[in-house]
């Protein structure tokens, strides 16, 4: 019972409605009881009841007042409790599942099964096949070939039901023809009623009526019963208008019975057409029939469904006046409706009145109350426990409702206690109770989850898809990927459904195993299971490979999910992560219905592509469409803005809508102002925050670093350290970067000490920042020590060490480190790696090594050289005096050299006294960087160094004429 006391305040947070407790007698709450007391509290004399009743519904009753059979589960495919053939049925069913696509092997396996075939067994096998009618049909065909065997009427009827479910209506008519030839006595109205009901369920009204016309050909005349079944089927399946027309036609041939009127009234009530239902009531009375309890209950259900509870209570009073006392179903209908409307106080009053009237509440009533209390916004699990305690005979459905209610309201510990109590009391579990508790088993409940897994195996529920799916989910939640795979592989193939594959795909995607998820998707298609919305959302939200992404998108279009908003949102996310902004935009424009996620994804995609103007325009369209932005919208928008004026406009909009108190939006504003160099505005927003989270501190600290104010950044870091919040790895990385930028070894060591004391050294990002910090503070040995002690080294780690060697002029060591990085195998070299090692070669004058590495980058690694690579190569050749080679690099067709590369060559010309090349480079720089005084000064110095005094003097005169002058140098070191 650990954890109950911590939640007691929540559960008894009912002072405003404390008078409800007076409606119940007995213990005040289960939460106050010891474990031993709970055992007595939950004690019951009958545990045979079974199954789940829907949480909400209106209990519409058609024609007759029936009571749900609580001895049969929803999944049972046979209604006979005699288990004589159970073993043989399961044996044959497994054979059918295993060999259904290989007919010769299937027939051989059935022949060798050793099962004695008989009509009773055949019927049960067909029923066991359920919706998998193709299995049943193959068994039916095989059985018909066996000697000394002939199908019975029940077998034919079961086969007709199966074929009708598969909509194989041509095969049904062919089978009826075969029956007529085999034994004419087999033809009965019931067989045609099966067809009628199936046609009606698929809204094929004309086909259903045609069955009536075909019946005389088989020697059966449609009578009142058949017409009644058709009327009943049409009303149950939403074709009440067609049912009304049929009813008028039927009145010309037969006198309607009470059943016919009741069916039609039920249909109108089901559709919420209460005026039409009342008219049927008038016709019923004109025909000499007085409404019975079934009719009144249907009207009650109709009122309840429409939320007209005042009319429902008035009808209840009318029933009493007419001498038709309400029964348990009458009260249950009202209780279900009130629970669905979360009017639990009124529901309890009806419940008390129900008891006073002498009507005994049944499992449906209690389940509705428990679910109602658990499903209200308050989550009154305490009241649900009160109701649960007063149930005289607790059947499986109420246990399931109670356990599910606790789980859904995050009282998992109570749900688990109830599950254990249920087990101790001998109430046999079903797939619902098992799935509920498995869904809350995370890492801390791993042992309990394994115990439930053992129970699943022992009780044989591994053949239930929902239980297998819950087991797989549990193991993924606990990080036990191997166990999840084992459950999946050990389950029988026929158990797999769409959810099974979805659970596997989603679990693999969440742990980054996208390729395995795609393989699972392929297996799902091979198993002839149609992907669902969740399948595509899971796959595409994690796919960053454009080639694979286009294939998945093609499957989306093929299966008709392109119009689904959530799938389209995932498609946009996928294309955006693949860098295909055009495809993202096309998907967005084709969407029929756009929700908030759609607009956010489009704005975010524009932001990632640095299309700030498009992001703003999309935001304006979003407002015109009436979609209210959220924190993510403003965060994405602020991150993409190019102009400070636009950002200030968004800031004003945030203030106007009263969203500045949202910490996520405030953090985004601080980040946006920092990126635009407006530190004062950024700090003003940060300072005005009533409560700051760690992201707030990280944003302002990195803002100071970004804008060249490292000292102020360290001050904010110090304030964070004395606050209630504690830095994370990202915070410490920023602080180390600040220490590196001002070469403050003292601060860097202090931060390193904090890292070691609080166990952050295992973070790879921290190790990378330490390597850089020590290198920039002049302690190369400590950089190497940190690198060697790191548990996991990524590409950035190696790049940081190579850069450290480069900064200290250790070119040979940098090249050796580069070679070791290549030999590591698991590390991917990127363009920053080559920049670092080429820079090291440049500083050390390693022309041959640098040239080889540059060529390897282009030829072996297929990287297109960037400006920084060419700059390093030009600098390398310049330092070695290979100015002509450097010139040829700049003039190569592969690049359009940046001005920094030209400046490197210009400086080399001045250092080596190459006047002709220097004049050429100066002309280029003066065209691209007009009136830059540094060009004139350096060119004048070049002329002077070469003894060309007249050219030097004329260059100085030009500098004076254009009216510019070189800015004097300065130092941050004081005198």
Q: What is the pLDDT of residue 727?
A: 93
Alpha carbons 211 and 800: distance in angstroms, whole number = 81
Give the pair of three-digit tokens for residue 769.
């920042």
Q: Are 748 and 736 in contact (CB under 8 A)?
A: yes
Helix or strand or coil: residue 485?
Answer: helix
Eight-state DSSP code of residue 722: T
Q: Estimate to the nearest angstrom the gap between the alpha carbon of 482 and the chain centroid.
A: 22
Using only C-alpha atoms, the chain has a radius of gyration, in whole angstroms, of 39
Query: What single DSSP character describes residue 462?
Result: G
274's enclosing H/E stretch is helix 274-286
Q: Rounded CA gap, 966 and 277, in Å?
A: 95
pLDDT at 192 (0 to 100): 74
How many angstroms separate the CA atoms of 209 and 201, rounded? 13
In the prediction, which pLDDT does 72 show?
Answer: 34
Q: Which of 835, 824, 770 is nearest to 799 (CA)?
A: 835
Show contacts of 159-167: CB within 8 Å, 24+ apart: 159/126, 160/191, 160/194, 160/195, 161/194, 162/126, 162/129, 162/133, 162/136, 162/137, 163/133, 163/137, 164/194, 164/195, 164/197, 164/198, 165/131, 165/133, 165/198, 166/133, 166/134, 167/198, 167/202
Structure token pair of residue 967: 């800015």
Other Cβ atoms less than 10 A from the Cβ of 265: the count is: 28
Which residue in the block uniquely carries the two structure tokens 């308050």? Answer: 378
The reported pLDDT for the residue numbered 115 is 74
* 8 Å CB contact between 648 and 616: no
d(CA 177, CA 119): 20
C-alpha 27/C-alpha 547 separation (Å) is: 64
Query: Could you tell me if 789 and 774 are in contact, meaning their C-beta atoms sit under 8 angstroms apart?
Result: no
Query: How confident is the chain (975 residues) per 10-residue block, as mean pLDDT?
Result: 35 32 33 35 33 33 35 38 62 74 75 74 76 69 76 76 70 74 71 69 65 71 70 72 75 77 80 80 81 82 82 83 83 83 83 84 82 70 81 83 83 85 84 85 84 85 84 88 87 79 88 85 84 87 79 85 88 88 90 90 88 88 88 84 83 83 89 90 90 92 93 93 92 95 93 93 93 94 94 93 93 94 87 92 88 89 84 77 69 59 73 71 69 73 74 74 59 50
Distance (Å, whole) CA 177 – CA 389: 58
Nearest one of 533, 526, 476 to 499, comparing CA atoms:
533
Helix-helix angle 899-912:883-890, to 10 degrees = 160
Instruction: Produce one character per residue of 382-417: b if its CB has 16 or more CB atoms within 10 Å, e if not.
Output: bbbbbbbbebeebbbbbbbbbbbbbbbbebbbbbbb
Distance of CA 702 to the CA centre of its chain: 32
Which structure tokens are listed for 56? 């909400």
pLDDT of residue 915: 73
Q: Up-side HSE of residue 24: CA atoms within 13 Å toward CB? A: 22
Torsion on CA atoms 242, 248, 249, 251, rounded to nearest 10: 140
* pLDDT for residue 965: 57
Distance from C-alpha of 840 to C-alpha of 815, rounded to nearest angstrom: 8
SS (H, E, C) 925-938: HHHHCCCCHHHHHH
pLDDT, residue 208, reads: 66
Asked if 509 and 538 touch (Cβ cutoff 8 Å), the reply is: yes
Is the CB of residue 306 less than 8 Å from the CB of residue 336? no
How would DSSP label each residue in 398-431? HHHHHHHHHHHTT-HHHHHHHHHHHHHTTPPP-H
pLDDT at 133: 55
Reading the block at residue 517, the tokens are: 């998820």
Burial level of 97, CB count in 10 A (0-12/13-18/19+)? Answer: middle
From residue 544, how far is each of 238, 537, 548, 580 by CA, in Å? 45, 13, 8, 10
429 C-beta neighbours (distance < 10 Å), count: 24
What is the C-alpha to C-alpha distance for residues 944 and 787, in angstroms, rounded to an integer? 49
What is the C-alpha to C-alpha distance for residues 434 and 73, in angstroms, rounded to an integer?
A: 14
* Phi, psi dihedral angles at 56 (to 5 degrees): -130, 155
Measured in whole angstroms, the distance separating CA 866 from the mean position of its chain's CA atoms is 40
Tokens linked to 878: 């310049």
Q: Are 605 and 613 in contact (CB under 8 A)?
A: no
Q: What's the CA gap between 801 and 815, in Å, rounded?
A: 11
* Phi-psi region at 702: left, alpha or beta (left = phi > 0; alpha = psi -120 to 50): alpha
- Res 213: pLDDT: 67
Q: Could you give the CA distance from residue 661 to residue 654 in angstroms, rounded to a whole number?
A: 9
Contact 336, 58 (CB under 8 A): yes
CA dist., res. 372 & res. 401, Å (int): 10
What tokens were used for 562? Answer: 């392109």
Cβ neighbours of 165 (radius 10 Å): 16
What gap in Å lies between CA 510 and CA 477, rounded to an integer? 10
55/397 Cα distance (integer angstroms): 10
Q: Cβ(78)–Cβ(127) under 8 Å?
A: yes
CB 402 within 8 A of CB 384: yes
Structural contact between residues 131 and 494, judged by C-beta atoms closer than 8 angstroms: no
What confidence score (pLDDT) does residue 260 get?
79
pTM of whole model > 0.85? no
Which 8-state DSSP code applies to residue 184?
Answer: G
Q: Quick one: CA torsion of 816, 822, 826, 829, rounded to 10 degrees?
A: 110
């Amino acid at each position: 019972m650990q954890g109950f006391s911590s939640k007691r305040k929540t559960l008894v947070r009912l002072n405003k409605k404390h008078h409800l407790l007076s409606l119940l007698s007995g213990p005040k709450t289960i939460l106050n009881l010891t474990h031993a007391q709970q055992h007595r509290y939950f004690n019951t004399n009958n545990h045979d009841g079974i199954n789940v009743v829907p949480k909400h519904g209106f209990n519409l009753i058609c024609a007759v007042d029936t009571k749900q059979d609580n001895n049969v589960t929803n999944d049972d495919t046979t209604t006979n409790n005699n288990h004589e053939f159970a073993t043989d049925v399961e044996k044959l069913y497994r054979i059918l599942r295993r060999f259904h696509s290989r007919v010769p092997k299937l027939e051989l396996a059935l022949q060798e099964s050793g099962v004695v075939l008989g009509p009773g067994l055949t019927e049960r096998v067909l029923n066991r096949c359920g919706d998998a009618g193709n299995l049943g049909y193959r068994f039916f065909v095989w059985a018909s070939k066996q000697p000394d065997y002939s199908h019975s009427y029940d077998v034919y009827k079961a086969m007709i039901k199966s074929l009708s479910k598969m909509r194989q209506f041509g095969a049904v008519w062919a089978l009826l023809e075969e029956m007529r030839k085999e034994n004419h006595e087999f033809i009965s109205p019931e067989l045609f009623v099966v067809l009628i009901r199936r046609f009606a369920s698929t809204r094929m009204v004309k086909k259903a009526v045609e069955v009536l016309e075909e019946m005389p050909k088989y020697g059966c005349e449609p009578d009142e019963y058949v017409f009644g079944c058709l009327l009943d089927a049409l009303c149950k399946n939403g074709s009440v208008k067609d049912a009304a027309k049929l009813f008028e036609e039927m009145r010309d041939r037969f006198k309607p019975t009470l059943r016919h009127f009741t069916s039609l009234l039920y249909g109108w009530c089901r559709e919420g057409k209460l005026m039409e239902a009342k008219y049927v009531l008038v016709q019923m009375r004109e025909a000499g029939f007085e409404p019975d309890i079934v009719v009144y209950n249907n009207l009650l259900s109709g009122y309840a469904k429409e939320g007209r509870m005042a009319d429902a209570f008035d009808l209840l009073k009318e029933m009493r006046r007419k001498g038709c006392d309400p029964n348990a179903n009458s009260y249950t209908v009202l209780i279900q409706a009130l629970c669905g409307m979360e009017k639990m106080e009124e529901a309890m009053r009806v419940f008390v009145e129900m008891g006073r009237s002498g009507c005994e509440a049944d499992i449906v009533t209690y389940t509705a109350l428990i679910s109602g209390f658990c499903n209200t916004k308050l989550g009154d699990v305490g009241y649900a426990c009160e109701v649960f305690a007063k149930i005289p005979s607790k059947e499986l459905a109420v246990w399931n409702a109670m356990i599910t209610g606790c789980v859904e309201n995050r009282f998992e510990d109570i749900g688990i206690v109830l599950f254990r109590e249920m087990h101790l009391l001998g109430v046999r579990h079903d797939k619902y109770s098992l799935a509920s508790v498995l869904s809350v088993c995370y890492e801390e409940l791993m042992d309990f989850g394994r115990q439930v897994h053992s129970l699943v195996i022992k009780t044989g529920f591994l053949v239930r898809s929902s239980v297998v799916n819950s087991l797989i989910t549990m193991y993924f939640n606990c990080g036990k990927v191997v166990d999840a795979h084992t459950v999946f592989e050990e389950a029988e193939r026929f158990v797999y459904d769409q959810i099974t594959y979805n659970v596997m795909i989603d679990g693999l995607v969440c742990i980054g195993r996208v390729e395995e998820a795609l393989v699972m998707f392929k297996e799902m298609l091979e198993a002839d299971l149609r992907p669902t919305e969740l399948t595509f959302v899971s796959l595409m939200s994690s796919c960053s490979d454009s080639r694979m992404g286009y294939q998945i998108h093609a499957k989306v279009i093929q299966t008709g999910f392109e119009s689904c908003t959530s799938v389209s949102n995932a498609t946009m996310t996928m294309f955006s992560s693949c860098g295909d902004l055009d495809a993202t935009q096309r998907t967005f424009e084709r969407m029929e219905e756009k929700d908030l996620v759609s607009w956010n994804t489009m704005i975010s995609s524009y932001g990632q592509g640095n299309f700030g103007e498009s992001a703003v325009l999309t935001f304006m369209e979003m407002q015109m469409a009436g979609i209210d932005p959220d924190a993510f919208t403003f965060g994405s928008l602020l991150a993409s803005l190019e102009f400070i004026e636009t950002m200030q406009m968004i800031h004003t909009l945030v203030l106007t809508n009263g969203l500045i108190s949202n910490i996520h939006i405030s953090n985004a504003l601080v980040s946006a102002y920092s990126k635009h160099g407006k530190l004062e505005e950024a700090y003003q927003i940060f300072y005005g925050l009533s409560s700051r989270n760690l992201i707030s501190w990280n944003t302002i600290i990195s803002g100071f670093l970004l804008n060249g104010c490292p000292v102020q950044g360290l001050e904010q870091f110090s304030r964070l350290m004395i606050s209630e919040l504690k830095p994370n790895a990202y915070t410490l990385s920023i602080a180390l970067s600040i220490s590196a930028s001002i070469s403050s070894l003292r601060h860097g060591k202090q931060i390193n000490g904090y890292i070691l004391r609080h166990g952050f050294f295992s973070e790879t990002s921290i190790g990378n920042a330490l390597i850089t910090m020590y290198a920039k503070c002049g302690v190369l040995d400590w950089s190497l020590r940190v690198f060697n002690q790191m548990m996991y080294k990524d590409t950035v780690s190696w790049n940081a060490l190579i850069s450290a060697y480069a900064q200290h002029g250790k070119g040979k060591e940098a090249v050796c480190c580069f070679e070791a990085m290549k030999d590591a195998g698991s590390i991917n070299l990127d363009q920053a790696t080559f920049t670092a090692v080429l820079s090291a070669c440049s500083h050390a004058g390693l022309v041959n090594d640098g040239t080889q590495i540059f060529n390897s980058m282009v030829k072996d690694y297929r990287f297109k050289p960037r400006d920084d690579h060419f700059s390093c190569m030009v600098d390398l050749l310049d330092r070695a005096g290979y100015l002509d080679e450097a010139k040829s690099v700049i003039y190569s067709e592969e690049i359009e050299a940046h001005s920094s590369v030209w400046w490197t060559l210009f400086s080399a010309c001045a250092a080596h006294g190459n006047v002709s090349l220097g004049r050429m480079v100066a002309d280029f720089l003066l065209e691209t960087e007009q009136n830059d005084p540094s060009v004139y000064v350096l060119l004048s110095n070049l002329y002077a160094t070469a003894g060309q005094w007249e050219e030097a003097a004329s260059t100085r005169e030009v500098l004076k004429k254009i009216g510019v002058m070189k800015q004097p140098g300065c130092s941050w070191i004081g005198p």
